[in-house]
Protein backbone atom coordinates (compact mmCIF):
# COMPACT_ATOMS: atom_id res chain seq x y z
CA UNK A 1 0.00 0.00 0.00
CA UNK A 2 1.32 3.46 -0.95
CA UNK A 3 0.52 6.52 1.16
CA UNK A 4 1.25 10.24 1.07
CA UNK A 5 2.80 11.27 4.37
CA UNK A 6 3.69 14.68 5.78
CA UNK A 7 7.26 14.08 6.95
CA UNK A 8 8.20 17.63 7.90
CA UNK A 9 6.64 21.02 8.59
CA UNK A 10 7.94 24.54 8.92
CA UNK A 11 6.63 28.07 9.38
CA UNK A 12 7.74 31.66 9.42
CA UNK A 13 6.08 34.10 11.82
CA UNK A 14 6.97 37.72 10.94
CA UNK A 15 8.55 39.74 13.72
CA UNK A 16 6.52 42.96 13.51
CA UNK A 17 3.54 42.94 15.90
CA UNK A 18 0.56 45.18 15.23
CA UNK A 19 -1.69 45.26 18.28
CA UNK A 20 -5.30 46.41 18.01
CA UNK A 21 -4.62 49.68 19.80
CA UNK A 22 -2.27 50.72 17.00
CA UNK A 23 -5.35 51.17 14.80
CA UNK A 24 -6.72 53.90 17.07
CA UNK A 25 -5.31 56.75 14.93
CA UNK A 26 -6.80 55.28 11.71
CA UNK A 27 -9.59 57.01 9.84
CA UNK A 28 -12.12 54.27 9.17
CA UNK A 29 -14.78 54.93 6.54
CA UNK A 30 -17.89 53.29 5.14
CA UNK A 31 -17.81 51.84 1.62
CA UNK A 32 -19.38 55.04 0.24
CA UNK A 33 -16.62 57.15 1.77
CA UNK A 34 -18.68 58.60 4.62
CA UNK A 35 -17.37 58.81 8.16
CA UNK A 36 -18.23 56.03 10.61
CA UNK A 37 -19.97 57.74 13.56
CA UNK A 38 -18.58 55.41 16.22
CA UNK A 39 -15.21 56.23 17.80
CA UNK A 40 -12.33 53.89 16.96
CA UNK A 41 -12.31 52.47 20.49
CA UNK A 42 -15.78 51.03 19.90
CA UNK A 43 -14.97 49.90 16.34
CA UNK A 44 -11.88 48.04 17.54
CA UNK A 45 -13.60 46.47 20.54
CA UNK A 46 -16.46 45.20 18.35
CA UNK A 47 -13.90 43.87 15.86
CA UNK A 48 -12.11 41.93 18.60
CA UNK A 49 -15.35 40.45 19.96
CA UNK A 50 -16.25 39.08 16.52
CA UNK A 51 -12.89 37.96 15.15
CA UNK A 52 -11.00 37.18 18.37
CA UNK A 53 -7.96 39.00 16.99
CA UNK A 54 -5.87 40.89 19.53
CA UNK A 55 -2.79 41.40 17.36
CA UNK A 56 -1.37 40.32 14.04
CA UNK A 57 2.06 40.03 12.39
CA UNK A 58 3.43 42.04 9.48
CA UNK A 59 6.51 41.21 7.44
CA UNK A 60 9.60 43.39 7.62
CA UNK A 61 9.78 45.81 4.68
CA UNK A 62 12.84 44.01 3.31
CA UNK A 63 10.97 40.71 2.89
CA UNK A 64 8.41 39.74 0.26
CA UNK A 65 6.00 36.79 0.09
CA UNK A 66 8.54 34.55 -1.64
CA UNK A 67 11.07 35.31 1.11
CA UNK A 68 8.61 34.21 3.78
CA UNK A 69 7.87 31.07 1.76
CA UNK A 70 11.59 30.34 1.50
CA UNK A 71 12.06 30.65 5.27
CA UNK A 72 9.18 28.24 5.95
CA UNK A 73 10.42 25.84 3.25
CA UNK A 74 13.88 25.66 4.79
CA UNK A 75 12.35 24.69 8.13
CA UNK A 76 10.15 22.00 6.56
CA UNK A 77 13.09 20.50 4.63
CA UNK A 78 15.18 20.45 7.79
CA UNK A 79 12.34 18.88 9.77
CA UNK A 80 11.87 16.15 7.13
CA UNK A 81 15.65 15.61 6.96
CA UNK A 82 15.70 15.38 3.17
CA UNK A 83 18.01 16.58 0.43
CA UNK A 84 16.24 19.42 -1.48
CA UNK A 85 17.65 18.00 -4.72
CA UNK A 86 15.31 15.02 -4.25
CA UNK A 87 12.18 17.17 -4.51
CA UNK A 88 10.00 16.40 -7.52
CA UNK A 89 7.68 19.39 -7.13
CA UNK A 90 7.53 22.71 -5.32
CA UNK A 91 3.95 24.01 -5.07
CA UNK A 92 3.56 27.52 -3.66
CA UNK A 93 0.09 28.83 -2.81
CA UNK A 94 -0.42 32.59 -2.60
CA UNK A 95 -2.87 35.19 -3.89
CA UNK A 96 -1.05 38.44 -4.60
CA UNK A 97 2.51 37.55 -5.54
CA UNK A 98 5.46 39.59 -4.30
CA UNK A 99 4.21 43.06 -3.42
CA UNK A 100 7.08 45.21 -2.25
CA UNK A 101 6.50 47.50 0.71
CA UNK A 102 4.94 50.83 -0.35
CA UNK A 103 4.45 49.50 -3.90
CA UNK A 104 1.18 49.15 -5.79
CA UNK A 105 2.12 46.43 -8.26
CA UNK A 106 2.24 42.66 -7.83
CA UNK A 107 5.28 40.78 -9.12
CA UNK A 108 4.79 37.14 -10.16
CA UNK A 109 7.43 36.90 -12.89
CA UNK A 110 9.10 34.50 -12.37
CA UNK A 111 6.69 32.49 -10.25
CA UNK A 112 7.15 32.57 -6.49
CA UNK A 113 7.79 28.83 -6.48
CA UNK A 114 10.64 29.38 -8.94
CA UNK A 115 12.06 32.06 -6.65
CA UNK A 116 11.96 29.68 -3.68
CA UNK A 117 13.64 26.94 -5.70
CA UNK A 118 16.35 29.44 -6.67
CA UNK A 119 16.84 30.52 -3.04
CA UNK A 120 17.10 26.87 -1.97
CA UNK A 121 19.88 26.38 -4.52
CA UNK A 122 18.22 23.37 -6.16
CA UNK A 123 19.99 22.47 -9.39
CA UNK A 124 17.79 19.54 -10.43
CA UNK A 125 15.73 20.65 -13.49
CA UNK A 126 13.28 17.80 -12.85
CA UNK A 127 12.13 19.56 -9.70
CA UNK A 128 9.09 21.36 -11.13
CA UNK A 129 8.12 24.61 -9.40
CA UNK A 130 4.77 26.31 -9.89
CA UNK A 131 2.29 28.58 -8.13
CA UNK A 132 -1.32 27.88 -7.23
CA UNK A 133 -4.03 30.55 -6.86
CA UNK A 134 -6.93 29.08 -4.90
CA UNK A 135 -7.75 31.71 -2.29
CA UNK A 136 -7.20 30.93 1.38
CA UNK A 137 -7.55 27.13 0.78
CA UNK A 138 -4.52 27.21 -1.55
CA UNK A 139 -2.08 25.37 0.71
CA UNK A 140 -4.60 22.61 1.47
CA UNK A 141 -5.25 22.26 -2.26
CA UNK A 142 -1.50 22.10 -2.84
CA UNK A 143 -1.27 19.14 -0.46
CA UNK A 144 -4.13 17.48 -2.36
CA UNK A 145 -2.23 17.99 -5.62
CA UNK A 146 0.94 16.60 -4.04
CA UNK A 147 -0.95 13.44 -3.13
CA UNK A 148 -2.25 13.18 -6.70
CA UNK A 149 1.29 13.36 -8.09
CA UNK A 150 2.44 10.69 -5.63
CA UNK A 151 -0.51 8.38 -6.33
CA UNK A 152 0.09 8.71 -10.08
CA UNK A 153 3.67 7.55 -9.61
CA UNK A 154 5.37 10.67 -10.99
CA UNK A 155 6.52 12.07 -7.64
CA UNK A 156 8.02 10.83 -4.40
CA UNK A 157 8.71 14.08 -2.54
CA UNK A 158 6.80 17.34 -2.81
CA UNK A 159 7.30 20.66 -1.03
CA UNK A 160 4.04 22.57 -0.47
CA UNK A 161 4.16 26.17 0.73
CA UNK A 162 1.51 28.71 1.68
CA UNK A 163 2.76 32.30 1.94
CA UNK A 164 1.18 35.73 1.95
CA UNK A 165 1.80 39.40 2.78
CA UNK A 166 -1.72 40.75 3.05
CA UNK A 167 -0.44 43.85 4.86
CA UNK A 168 0.71 45.10 1.43
CA UNK A 169 -2.75 44.98 -0.18
CA UNK A 170 -5.08 46.29 2.53
CA UNK A 171 -7.05 49.53 2.61
CA UNK A 172 -6.23 51.34 5.84
CA UNK A 173 -9.64 53.06 5.76
CA UNK A 174 -11.52 49.74 5.75
CA UNK A 175 -12.34 48.16 9.13
CA UNK A 176 -11.83 44.74 7.59
CA UNK A 177 -8.14 45.60 7.12
CA UNK A 178 -7.59 44.75 10.79
CA UNK A 179 -8.21 41.07 10.01
CA UNK A 180 -5.28 40.58 7.68
CA UNK A 181 -1.71 39.57 8.43
CA UNK A 182 1.43 38.05 6.93
CA UNK A 183 3.09 34.66 7.32
CA UNK A 184 4.16 31.41 5.71
CA UNK A 185 3.88 27.68 6.36
CA UNK A 186 5.22 24.66 4.51
CA UNK A 187 5.37 20.89 4.55
CA UNK A 188 7.05 17.98 2.81
CA UNK A 189 4.71 15.32 1.44
CA UNK A 190 6.45 12.00 0.73
CA UNK A 191 5.56 8.66 -0.84
CA UNK A 192 5.68 5.79 1.64
CA UNK A 193 5.20 2.14 0.67
CA UNK A 194 3.93 -0.75 2.79
CA UNK A 195 2.16 1.60 5.20
CA UNK A 196 0.45 -0.97 7.42
CA UNK A 197 -0.78 1.63 9.89
CA UNK A 198 -2.62 3.56 7.14
CA UNK A 199 -0.99 6.82 8.13
CA UNK A 200 -1.06 9.82 5.84
CA UNK A 201 -3.78 11.36 3.68
CA UNK A 202 -6.91 9.23 3.91
CA UNK A 203 -9.34 11.31 1.84
CA UNK A 204 -10.17 14.80 0.68
CA UNK A 205 -12.92 17.01 -0.75
CA UNK A 206 -12.73 20.23 -2.82
CA UNK A 207 -15.36 22.55 -4.23
CA UNK A 208 -15.62 25.84 -6.14
CA UNK A 209 -18.78 27.96 -6.00
CA UNK A 210 -19.10 30.61 -8.73
CA UNK A 211 -22.75 31.52 -9.04
CA UNK A 212 -23.51 34.37 -6.63
CA UNK A 213 -20.35 33.56 -4.65
CA UNK A 214 -17.55 34.25 -7.16
CA UNK A 215 -16.91 37.85 -6.08
CA UNK A 216 -17.48 37.63 -2.33
CA UNK A 217 -13.76 38.48 -2.12
CA UNK A 218 -12.41 40.88 -4.73
CA UNK A 219 -10.02 43.72 -5.54
CA UNK A 220 -11.59 47.16 -5.12
CA UNK A 221 -10.96 50.85 -4.55
CA UNK A 222 -10.13 52.43 -1.22
CA UNK A 223 -13.05 53.67 0.84
CA UNK A 224 -11.25 57.03 0.80
CA UNK A 225 -12.46 58.57 -2.46
CA UNK A 226 -9.36 60.79 -2.55
CA UNK A 227 -7.12 57.75 -3.08
CA UNK A 228 -5.92 57.01 -6.63
CA UNK A 229 -8.80 55.28 -8.49
CA UNK A 230 -6.48 52.82 -10.25
CA UNK A 231 -5.04 51.40 -7.03
CA UNK A 232 -6.87 48.31 -5.77
CA UNK A 233 -7.08 46.65 -2.35
CA UNK A 234 -8.42 43.39 -0.98
CA UNK A 235 -12.14 43.71 -0.23
CA UNK A 236 -14.79 41.31 0.99
CA UNK A 237 -18.51 40.96 1.63
CA UNK A 238 -18.05 39.74 5.18
CA UNK A 239 -21.63 38.79 6.04
CA UNK A 240 -22.03 36.83 2.78
CA UNK A 241 -18.77 34.97 3.38
CA UNK A 242 -19.83 34.15 6.93
CA UNK A 243 -23.14 32.69 5.80
CA UNK A 244 -21.51 30.86 2.87
CA UNK A 245 -18.90 29.27 5.12
CA UNK A 246 -21.45 28.11 7.68
CA UNK A 247 -23.67 26.60 5.01
CA UNK A 248 -20.95 24.83 3.02
CA UNK A 249 -17.71 24.14 4.92
CA UNK A 250 -19.22 21.64 7.41
CA UNK A 251 -20.69 19.66 4.50
CA UNK A 252 -17.34 19.52 2.70
CA UNK A 253 -15.65 18.34 5.89
CA UNK A 254 -18.33 15.66 6.27
CA UNK A 255 -17.85 14.53 2.68
CA UNK A 256 -14.11 14.11 3.25
CA UNK A 257 -14.61 12.29 6.56
CA UNK A 258 -17.27 9.95 5.16
CA UNK A 259 -14.99 9.07 2.24
CA UNK A 260 -12.23 8.14 4.69
CA UNK A 261 -14.38 5.63 6.57
CA UNK A 262 -13.24 7.18 9.86
CA UNK A 263 -15.77 7.63 12.65
CA UNK A 264 -16.37 11.17 13.87
CA UNK A 265 -15.45 10.03 17.40
CA UNK A 266 -11.93 9.28 16.16
CA UNK A 267 -11.25 12.84 14.97
CA UNK A 268 -8.83 14.38 17.46
CA UNK A 269 -8.15 17.79 15.91
CA UNK A 270 -9.59 20.08 13.25
CA UNK A 271 -7.12 22.57 11.78
CA UNK A 272 -9.36 25.13 10.14
CA UNK A 273 -8.44 28.31 8.28
CA UNK A 274 -7.99 31.07 10.84
CA UNK A 275 -10.40 33.57 9.31
CA UNK A 276 -12.65 34.68 12.13
CA UNK A 277 -13.02 33.15 15.60
CA UNK A 278 -16.81 33.24 15.71
CA UNK A 279 -17.09 31.87 12.18
CA UNK A 280 -14.68 29.01 12.90
CA UNK A 281 -16.50 28.14 16.11
CA UNK A 282 -19.83 28.12 14.27
CA UNK A 283 -18.39 25.90 11.50
CA UNK A 284 -17.10 23.37 14.02
CA UNK A 285 -20.41 23.38 15.88
CA UNK A 286 -22.35 22.69 12.67
CA UNK A 287 -19.88 20.01 11.59
CA UNK A 288 -20.30 17.97 14.76
CA UNK A 289 -24.04 18.62 14.72
CA UNK A 290 -24.19 16.82 11.34
CA UNK A 291 -23.17 13.70 13.29
CA UNK A 292 -25.37 14.61 16.27
CA UNK A 293 -22.26 14.86 18.43
CA UNK A 294 -21.08 17.47 20.93
CA UNK A 295 -17.87 19.36 20.20
CA UNK A 296 -14.94 17.62 21.96
CA UNK A 297 -12.95 19.89 24.22
CA UNK A 298 -9.81 21.23 22.62
CA UNK A 299 -10.60 19.81 19.17
CA UNK A 300 -9.96 23.12 17.38
CA UNK A 301 -6.53 24.73 17.90
CA UNK A 302 -6.51 28.49 17.30
CA UNK A 303 -3.80 30.97 16.38
CA UNK A 304 -5.89 33.87 15.10
CA UNK A 305 -5.81 35.74 18.41
CA UNK A 306 -2.12 36.55 18.05
CA UNK A 307 -1.40 35.96 14.35
CA UNK A 308 -4.52 37.23 12.58
CA UNK A 309 -5.65 35.95 9.17
CA UNK A 310 -2.68 35.27 6.88
CA UNK A 311 -4.80 33.55 4.20
CA UNK A 312 -3.03 30.49 2.72
CA UNK A 313 -0.51 30.51 5.58
CA UNK A 314 -2.94 30.00 8.47
CA UNK A 315 -3.47 26.23 8.22
CA UNK A 316 0.18 25.16 7.65
CA UNK A 317 1.41 27.65 10.25
CA UNK A 318 -1.11 26.41 12.82
CA UNK A 319 -0.22 22.78 12.07
CA UNK A 320 3.49 23.45 12.47
CA UNK A 321 3.00 25.35 15.73
CA UNK A 322 0.97 22.50 17.24
CA UNK A 323 3.33 19.77 16.02
CA UNK A 324 6.29 21.68 17.48
CA UNK A 325 4.52 22.15 20.84
CA UNK A 326 4.18 25.92 20.48
CA UNK A 327 0.47 26.22 21.27
CA UNK A 328 -0.50 25.61 24.88
CA UNK A 329 -2.56 22.51 25.67
CA UNK A 330 -2.51 21.32 22.05
CA UNK A 331 -0.71 18.30 20.61
CA UNK A 332 -1.01 15.66 17.91
CA UNK A 333 0.02 12.11 18.79
CA UNK A 334 0.96 9.25 16.51
CA UNK A 335 -2.19 7.59 15.22
CA UNK A 336 -4.37 10.69 15.72
CA UNK A 337 -6.83 11.51 12.95
CA UNK A 338 -7.00 15.20 12.07
CA UNK A 339 -8.90 17.30 9.54
CA UNK A 340 -7.38 20.19 7.59
CA UNK A 341 -10.03 22.54 6.20
CA UNK A 342 -10.26 25.95 4.58
CA UNK A 343 -12.55 28.38 2.78
CA UNK A 344 -11.76 31.47 0.76
CA UNK A 345 -11.77 33.51 -2.43
CA UNK A 346 -13.18 31.76 -5.43
CA UNK A 347 -15.29 30.81 -3.48
CA UNK A 348 -13.31 27.68 -2.75
CA UNK A 349 -13.63 25.05 -0.03
CA UNK A 350 -11.56 21.99 0.75
CA UNK A 351 -10.79 19.49 3.47
CA UNK A 352 -8.30 16.68 4.07
CA UNK A 353 -8.61 13.78 6.51
CA UNK A 354 -5.17 12.72 7.71
CA UNK A 355 -3.83 10.12 10.15
CA UNK A 356 -0.54 10.78 11.90
pLDDT tens column, 20-63: 999 999 999 999 999 998 999 999 999 999 999 999 999 999 99
Q: End of a domain among 193, 212, 235?
A: 193
At residue 194, the pLDDT reads 65
Same domain, 96 and 166: yes
Taking the CA atoms of residue 345, residue 201, residue 163 and residue 83 in that order, the dihedral angle to the nearest 10 degrees is -160
Beta bridge partners of 31: none
- Please choose, from the candidates 17, 27, 31, the residue with its C-alpha nearest in 3D space to the C-alpha of residue 223: 31
At residue 196, the pLDDT reads 58
Q: Quote the Cα angle for 160-163-165, to 5°.
A: 175
The b-or-e profile of 68-83 (16+ CB within 10 A means b, else e) is bbbbbbbbbbebbebe
Number of domains forming the structure of the chain: 2
Same domain, 142 and 224: no
Q: End of a domain among 160, 193, 226?
A: 193
Same domain, 76 and 101: yes
Q: Residue 199 — pLDDT band, cuts 50, 70, 90?
A: confident
What's the whole-model pTM score?
0.94
Same domain, 311 and 255: yes
SS3 256: helix
CATH code of 309's domain = 3.40.47.10
Same domain, 184 and 204: no
Same domain, 45 and 95: yes
Q: 237 is in which domain, residue-wise? A: 200-355
Amino acid sequence: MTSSIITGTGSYIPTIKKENEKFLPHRFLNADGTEIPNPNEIIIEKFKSITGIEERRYADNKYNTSDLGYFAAKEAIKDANIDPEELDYIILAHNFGDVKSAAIQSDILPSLATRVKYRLGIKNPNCVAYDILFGCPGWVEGVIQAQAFIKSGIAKKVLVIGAETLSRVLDKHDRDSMIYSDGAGACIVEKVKDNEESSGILSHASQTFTKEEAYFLFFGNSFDKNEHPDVRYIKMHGRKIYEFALNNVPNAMKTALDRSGIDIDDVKKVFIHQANEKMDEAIIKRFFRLYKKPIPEGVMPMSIHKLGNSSVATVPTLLDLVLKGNIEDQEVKKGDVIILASVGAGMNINAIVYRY
